[in-house]
């Protein structure tokens, strides 16, 4: 996420940190490089101008020039301006506490709108305790209805469809069905086009007027850069959108859309999509995103993700097992699966302040799947008492998991080292760096 922009900004910050003191000349030089980094990231030129004007005024103030830590003060100025450009504060959905809440998702074809409908449904169900009904109102794109039906079925959501009806008629019928069947939220997948056109907009305006949605959210592809800004302006002028969702933030997005859309439209980016899975969906925290851009991490998003995706009761049970030194391979497998639920491990590492660039950790997801397959190929007795796994058992496990005996040996050796480390932690000692570094190294 924002890799190229983050790298450029990191270079600027390193250069500033290398200076003994700051003066007007090197501050302006630093901001000139920040400006170039933003333009290369496809940030809208109006946003860049306002950003640099604001940063220049602050950076040339007495607080920075006379500070004993000028580099830190300069970073603070750039960070503050990034946060402001991204919308300043996080915003969740604004839904009714009772009755049926209606959400209308709009966007161009190919923006990831249909996938986002299912992600929003998952978010609404989990965070608002509302049973969602998905409305397949995109009747123009081939297979759009079928795609939503398949995604709904895969994730356990009901999808409402009607053949032969117009989009508004489908939505109205869906609302009636929702009222009759105790649904708490109606999420409408509207039709998109390859580009903005009058017919599409008139259809959406009519749907908004008739359905009176609580949220009209624009879904935009983060990789489209400045083009996304004109799209957002068009939808906002006609519909009065209430927020933005940026999809495909896991792609080669340069960051321009995120830094431009909120500033230009005055509407907050509420969520970002970071993958294909329904859980690859994050609330958009401007301070945290700015922190990632400057290699400062995003602790708030990390904590929220842990609280949302990890089982608290299992964590308590694990703590007891560690203290009793009874942690086994079944527990290890359970922890591995919980970690997978959190989504991309590289995205998680991005949230840890300073870690991604300093540690240069590249997690191979295939290695994690192989590890899971090896443990699953063991019997219950072997997972509980791993020391009984002799040579013949190792061959059988390797054959059953599609791995090699070397892979099985490596996993068992690492697990034993991890057990020793946990035993030391359970007694209140310091775990040291060796076993943990080794474990991470094996996953690279």
Residues 240-274 have pLDDT tens digits of 999 999 998 876 556 677 778 888 888 999 999 98
Residue 427: pLDDT band with limits 50, 70, 90 = low
Listed in order, strand segments (DSSP E) in 17-167 are: 101-106, 132-136, 158-160
Which pLDDT value is given to residue 267?
Answer: 92
Residue 300: pLDDT band with limits 50, 70, 90 = very low
Percent of the chain at pLDDT above 70? 80
Q: Please give the average per-residue pLDDT across 383-396, as a whole number.
A: 92
Whether 441 shows a pLDDT value over 50: the answer reads no
Distance CA 93, CA 120 (A): 10
Distance CA 180, CA 174 (A): 10
Distance CA 342, CA 216 (A): 28
Q: Please give the average per-residue pLDDT across 423-443, as a whole number.
A: 46
Distance CA 298, CA 352 (A): 6
For the record, the structure tokens of 358 come out as 């300093």
Which pLDDT value is given to residue 308?
Answer: 56
Listed in order, strand segments (DSSP E) in 289-352 are: none
Closest CA to 223 of 110, 346, 117: 110
DSSP-assigned states of every residue in 142-187? TTHHHHHHHHHHHHT-EEE--TT--HHHHHHHHHHHHHHTT-SEEE
| C-alpha angle 13-17-19 in degrees, rounded to nearest 5 | 125
346: left (phi over 0), alpha (psi -120 to 50) or beta: alpha
Listed in order, strand segments (DSSP E) in 31-72 are: none
Q: What are phi and psi of 239, to 5 degrees?
A: -110, -20
For the record, the structure tokens of 416 come out as 């034993």
Q: Starting from the edge strand earliest in sequence, which strands make up the sheet with 132-136, in order?
A: 158-160, 132-136, 185-189, 101-106, 215-221, 243-247, 269-273, 281-283
Q: Please give the average per-residue pLDDT across 136-164, as a whole number.
A: 94
Whether 155 shows a pLDDT value over 60: the answer reads yes
Bridge partners (DSSP) of residue 359 are: none
Which pLDDT value is given to residue 343?
Answer: 60
Name the DSSP class of 103. Answer: E
CA dist 201 to 106, 160, 206, 221, 235, Å?
A: 10, 23, 9, 19, 8
CA dist 2 to 10, 40, 293, Å?
A: 12, 12, 7
Q: Please give the average per-residue pLDDT across 147-153, as a whole number.
A: 96
Pick the CATH number of 311-442 from 1.10.260.30, 1.10.3720.10, 1.10.260.40, 3.40.50.300: 1.10.260.30
Q: Please give the average per-residue pLDDT across 85-94, as a whole number.
A: 88
Whether 94 shows a pLDDT value over 70: the answer reads yes
Distance CA 352, CA 297 (A): 5
180-196 pLDDT tens trace: 999 999 999 998 887 88
For the record, the structure tokens of 109 come out as 């074809």
Residues in the chain: 444
CA dist 404 to 377, 399, 411, Å?
A: 12, 7, 11
Whether 222 shows a pLDDT value over 90: the answer reads no
Whether 204 shows a pLDDT value over 70: the answer reads yes
The domain spans of the chain are 3-85, 101-284, 311-442
Which pLDDT value is given to residue 208?
Answer: 96
| C-alpha angle 99-114-289 in degrees, rounded to nearest 5 | 90
User: Are 212 and 102 within 8 A, CB to CB?
Assistant: yes
Q: Please give the average per-residue pLDDT across 127-155, as a whole number.
A: 94
Which pLDDT value is given to residue 433?
Answer: 40
Bridge partners (DSSP) of residue 185 are: 101, 132
Whether 179 shows a pLDDT value over 80: the answer reads yes
38-83 pLDDT tens trace: 888 888 888 899 999 999 888 887 666 666 566 777 888 888 888 8
Q: State the CATH architecture for 101-284.
A: 3-Layer(aba) Sandwich (3.40)
Distance CA 274, CA 71 (A): 32
Whether 150 shows a pLDDT value over 90: the answer reads yes
Q: 3-85 with 311-442: one CATH topology? A: no
Range of 9-23, 86-100, 147-161, 212-226 with top mean pLDDT: 147-161
Percent of the chain at pLDDT above 90? 39
Helix (H/G/I), strand (E/B), else coil: 276: coil
Helix (H/G/I), strand (E/B), else coil: 271: strand
Residue 432: pLDDT band with limits 50, 70, 90 = very low
Whether 230 shows a pLDDT value over 90: the answer reads no
Which pLDDT value is given to residue 118?
Answer: 97
Instruction: Identify the weakest region by mean pLDDT among 271-280, 325-334, 377-386.
Output: 325-334
Query: For 3-85, CATH number?
Result: 1.20.120.140
Mean pLDDT, the chain, whole residue set: 82
Distance CA 27, CA 48 (A): 17
Residue 281 CA, chain-centre distance (Å), reads 5
Distance CA 326, CA 317 (A): 11
Cβ neighbours of 63 (radius 10 Å) = 12
Residue 128: pLDDT band with limits 50, 70, 90 = very high
Instruction: Please name the residues in contact with 71: beta carbons below 8 A apart, sequence gap of 6 or more.
Output: 13, 16, 17, 19, 22
């Amino acid at each position: 996420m924002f890799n190229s922009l983050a790298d450029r900004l990191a270079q600027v910050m390193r250069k500033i940190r290398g200076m003994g003191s700051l003066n007007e000349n090197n501050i302006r030089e630093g901001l000139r490089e920040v400006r170039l980094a933003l333009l290369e990231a496809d940030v809208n030129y109006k946003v860049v101008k306002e950003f640099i004007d604001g940063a220049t005024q602050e950076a040339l103030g007495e607080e920075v020039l006379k500070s004993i830590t000028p580099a830190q003060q300069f970073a603070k100025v750039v960070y503050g301006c990034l946060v402001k450009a991204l919308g300043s504060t996080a915003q969740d959905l604004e839904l009714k506490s009772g009755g049926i809440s209606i959400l209308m998702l709009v966007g161009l074809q190919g923006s990831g709108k249909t996938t986002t409908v299912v992600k929003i449904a998952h978010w609404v169900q989990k965070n608002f305790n509302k049973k969602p009904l998905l409305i397949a109102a995109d009747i123009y794109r081939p297979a759009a209805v079928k795609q939503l039906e398949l995604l709904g079925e895969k994730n356990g959501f009901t999808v409402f469809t009607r053949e032969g009806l117009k989009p508004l008629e489908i939505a109205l019928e869906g609302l009636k069905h929702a009222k009759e069947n105790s649904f708490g939220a109606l999420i409408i997948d509207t039709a998109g086009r390859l580009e903005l056109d009058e017919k599409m907009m008139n259809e959406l305006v009519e749907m908004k007027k008739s359905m009176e949605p609580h949220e009209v959210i624009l879904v935009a592809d983060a990789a489209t850069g400045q083009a996304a800004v004109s799209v957002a302006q068009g939808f906002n002028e006609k519909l009065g959108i209430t927020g933005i969702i940026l999809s495909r933030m896991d792609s080669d997005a340069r960051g321009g859309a995120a830094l431009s859309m909120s500033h230009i439209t005055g509407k907050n980016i509420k969520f970002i999509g970071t993958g294909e899975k329904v859980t690859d969906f994050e609330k958009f925290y401007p301070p945290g995103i700015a922190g990632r851009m400057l290699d400062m991490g995003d602790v708030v998003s990390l904590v929220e993700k842990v609280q949302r995706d990890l089982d608290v009761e299992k964590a308590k049970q694990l703590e007891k097992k560690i203290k009793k030194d009874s942690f086994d391979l079944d527990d290890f497998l359970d922890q591995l699966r919980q970690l997978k639920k959190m989504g991309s491990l590289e995205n998680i590492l991005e949230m840890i302040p300073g870690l991604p660039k300093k540690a240069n950790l590249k997690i191979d997801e295939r290695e994690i799947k192989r590890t899971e397959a090896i443990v699953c190929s063991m019997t219950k007795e072997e997972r509980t008492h791993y020391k009984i796994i002799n040579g013949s058992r190792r061959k059988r496990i390797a054959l059953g998991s599609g791995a090699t005996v070397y892979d099985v040996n490596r996993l068992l050796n690492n697990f034993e080292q991890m057990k020793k480390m946990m035993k030391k932690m359970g007694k209140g000692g310091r775990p040291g760096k060796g076993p943990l570094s080794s474990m991470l190294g094996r996953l690279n």
